[in-house]
Amino acid sequence: MVDSESGTQRGRGRGVLVLSVGGVTSFVALLIFGVVTRAEDRSINDALSKGSPIAAPGFELEVLESDAAPPQEIEAALGDGRLALAELAGTPVVLNLWASWCIPCEEEAPVLEQAWGRWQDRGVLFLGLDMQDLSGEAQAFVSEFGITYPNVRDPGKSTASEYGATGIPETFFIDEEGRVVAHVTGVVSSQQLDDGARAAIEGRVLGAVTGGDFSPQR
């Protein structure tokens, strides 16, 4: 005959064991998820820190309307109102993530426009990527700061997440083979833009560095 009290205690013991194992399993799963997520988010910077270029995540986004005439070399690509990174193959690209509500982006805008003036005739395309923004406010920002290089718009932040961006502004330098060779987090300086554009032309890894002020994503 089985003692009912002992059986109950053994049952509770098994229940505690099951819960403990389940808790450990969940903890391990969350830990692995966190590690993998951090690894994915840092993949570009990790590759650059090892001196290796890494394929830039592709995208196809709506072109932000502007009064400025588009660069002749990509005018046809912009004809349908959308632009894919793949359409820029063979062209070094300076990709800048920004938003109209980003205060540091206001400081950075004139620096980018001046650099665009220096590099557009040397075969480098500057491309703004407006994110987490309203199109009207984004267009007003472009007009206010006299931005003449093309911009695309992601209403959310999925593209930024693909690049591992954690805020704005951030700038990625992509060579003609579509590989990221440099990355600046925060407001980019004139020198960083010149160095990054040159590295993009040469296909030379420059690395990941910190710039000026930086705003978290919304």
pLDDT per residue rounded down to tens, the chain (218 residues): 445 444 444 444 444 433 344 444 333 333 333 333 333 347 999 999 999 999 999 999 999 998 888 888 888 888 889 999 999 999 999 999 999 999 999 999 999 999 999 999 999 999 999 999 999 999 999 999 999 999 999 999 999 999 999 999 999 999 999 999 999 999 999 999 999 999 999 999 999 999 999 999 88
Which top CATH class is 52-216?
alpha beta
**What is the separation of C-alpha 97 from the centre of its chain, rounded to a whole number of angstroms?**
7
Instruction: Provide the residue ranges of all domains of the chain, joining segments of one domain with +.
Output: 4-41, 52-216
Q: What per-residue confidence (pLDDT) applies to 127?
A: 97
Q: Assess contact for 61 and 34: CB atoms under 8 A.
A: no
Q: What per-residue confidence (pLDDT) applies to 74?
A: 87
Q: What per-residue confidence (pLDDT) applies to 217?
A: 85
Question: How far is the CA of 56 from the CAs of 11, 33, 49, 125, 206, in angstroms?
Answer: 55, 23, 16, 15, 15
Q: Is 41 exposed, middle or buried (0-12, 13-18, 19+ CB in 10 A)?
A: middle
Q: What per-residue confidence (pLDDT) applies to 9?
A: 46
Nearest of 172, 191, 159 to residue 45 by alpha carbon: 172
**Residue 149, Cβ neighbours under 10 Å: how many?**
22
Total-model pTM:
0.81
Q: What per-residue confidence (pLDDT) applies to 14?
A: 44
